[in-house]
A and B are shown apart, each in its own frame.
Chain A
Amino acid sequence: MSLLSCTDLVKTYQLGKLSLEVLHGLDFHVDRGEFVAIMGPSGSGKSTLMNILGCLDTPTSGQYVLDGEPVAGMTDSDLADIRNRKIGFVFQTFNLLARQSARSNVELPLIYAGVPAAKRHEMSKKVLEEVGLADRANHKPNELSGGERQRVAVARALINNPSLLLADEPTGNLDTKTSGEIMELFERLHEGGNTIVLVTHEDDIGARARRIVRLRDGMIESDRKAPRSGRDARP
């Protein structure tokens, strides 16, 4: 069974009298452990799909089942709960709380999960080590480099041990070298068994994924497994 499956997904935005259909009956499935890149030009509906996959938004019609839970038609509060338990977000603009330390940022999802402070510290220590920032735990975001900030964001996304890691243009604000480092981190997480869905419009970033889904005008244009590059090939 797929980790996430979208069936006949339709999303319509109401702009005054005008209704704008952005997704036109999309079918899309991701299995556990996959590393998928969603690509497409702006206006292709990839952000909308991303918001629905991330349970930030609900489809106008159609089904979305995440990890066995039907998401379409859920209340705000249930969606928040799903986001908290099953989804880890990584954003283009990092979206860290500026006044809080890396550690506090990483622990944020745990606060809403009701995890006690001692346990939170223990868990944040572990994920910060995992992304290689153990020694930066007490730094504020403005004391960190772009790559470090994004790694804090990844650590935050990982801390609840989510079913799905959603990354929206995670390298969009980073230089090439740092982008490479972040993508290596994603690859490592993928190898560690995490399911990752990545939205990007950059081909070389998309190429790091194992499967590439191209969107155009709210429809899936192509969906293919990427050939393994030699560097990643395992014996």
Chain B
Amino acid sequence: MKSPSAGFILDSMRMAVGSLWSNKLRSLLTTLGIVIGITTVIGIISVIEGLNTAFARELSNIGGNDTLYIQKWHWASNDWELTRKWKNIEFRELDAIRESSTLCDLVTPLVRTVRTVKYEQNKISDTLVTGVGKNYQEMRQIFPAAGRFLTDVDITKNRDVAVVGWEVAERLFEHDFPIGKRIAVGGKSLRVVGVLEKRGDFFDMNLDRTLIMPIGSFMESFGRYRSLSIMAQPRDRDRVDEAIDELRGILRRVRKVPFGKPDDFAINRIDALKELYDKLTGGLYGAMFGVATISLLVGGIGIMNIMLVSVTERTREIGIRKAVGARRRDILFQFLTESAFLACIGGVIGILLGYAAAILVDALSPVPAQVKWWSVFLGLGFSVAVGLIFGIYPAWRAAAKNPIDCLSYE
């Protein structure tokens, strides 16, 4: 038994190209299902990969992944009916955690608002203003590009000072050196002591359009009656769950939650954000899987159909080939090559369209999209597989034909 030589494979491919080329329009229409399927696969994988990259980058931007956030709302659910009745989280809770927690070494309060910031005639609206306490810088790992960060003294003395984000500095000061200048935020005058390093975007949220000030000073200006977020950093990466249990105990005691009642606070962690994110991308993957499966199935059936037609049309050709020495497997191989090639054309068109779609999405929407090199191989692999699977039956029919009948076929 001889196996097909490289030369024969090449000849089969050449024959496949020739035969498909002579039916250009038909071939193209046949591949439509494959095109749609592969476009979907490439497009959605690109979007998900883009989101993944952005997400991973931003997660590292907003601090350690095992930081716990004690807040009045859950990240992963939006059960406002329940959470709005909860008592505010106040300094009492913060002090209790600082005093009693053995498993969290770094704890800081956090409050936020969005304001317009002014310097002389310049102003920048929609700036995220954050009031922070001790340990904030250590926990967030953010650093000044110029000047200094807030000191513990700034914080304990409630000084009217601020560290501004890159974009805020750039837009307000233009040619002036920002350090030492006074800016106005919501009617309050603050002295700039530092400018943060450039950090980029988190999706369409600009992390450089930000201002950080001592929490006491923040509350004097923007109101005392707001719920704090408390960030707590577990000392030991492997004991995060224990740390959560400890925090719950402390908070329930301070907030006097009766035994048997549910918590009236949430302990959020990045993992919860990740769960939310996974839910989102899981949905996307599901949609991709659905659309791709259906269109590849339709595409495959289209290919099978056209190959069956082709086998019938070329009955005489099959007879001739058999008469001059083509074995069953030569014919099988020839038609399989053809259907795989047909599907592959669809795959290539799909990859190009998917690529184009990803570029468009990236350019025209806030969703970042990235084409991964492996998705190209995945797309090609899928289409070739569809071509082979749906090509087997027609090819087998061709191979099984009797040469005498084929030669007398009109």
Contacts and interface: CB of A to CB of B under 8 A. Distances in A.
Interface stretch (A75-83, A174-182, A185-193): A75-83
Contacts of B320: 95-97, 108
Given A91-B407, A99-B18, A99-B19, A114 B323 contact: no
B77 interface: no
A77 B327 contact: yes
Q: Is the interface of B mostly helix, strand, loop or mixed?
A: helix
A84 B18 CA distance: 23
Interface stretch (B1-9, B109-117, B163-171, B361-369): B1-9
A89 B328 contact: no
B404 interface: yes
Nearest to B325: A84
Contact of A112 (B316, B325, B403): B325
A83 B404 contact: no
Given A97-B317, A99-B19, A77 B8 contact: no
> Most A CB atoms within 10 A — which of B2, B323, B403?
B323
Interface residues of A, number: 28
A83 B324 CA distance: 6
A111 interface: yes
Nearest to A159: B324
B322 A80 contact: yes
B323 A89 contact: yes
Interface in B1-26: 1-2, 5, 7-8, 11, 18-19, 22
B132 to A, nearest CB: 76
Interface string A160-180: 100000000000000000000
Contact of B22 (A80, A99, A112): A99
A56 interface: yes
A55 to B, nearest CB: 9
12 contacts: A76-B328, A80-B328, A84-B325, A89-B323, A95-B316, A108-B320, A108-B324, A109-B324, A112-B326, A112-B327, A112-B330, A114-B8
Interface of B: 1-2, 5, 7-8, 11, 18-19, 22, 316-317, 319-330, 403-404, 407
Closest 9 CB pairs of A and B: A84-B325, A112-B325, A109-B324, A80-B327, A77-B327, A95-B320, A114-B5, A83-B325, A56-B403
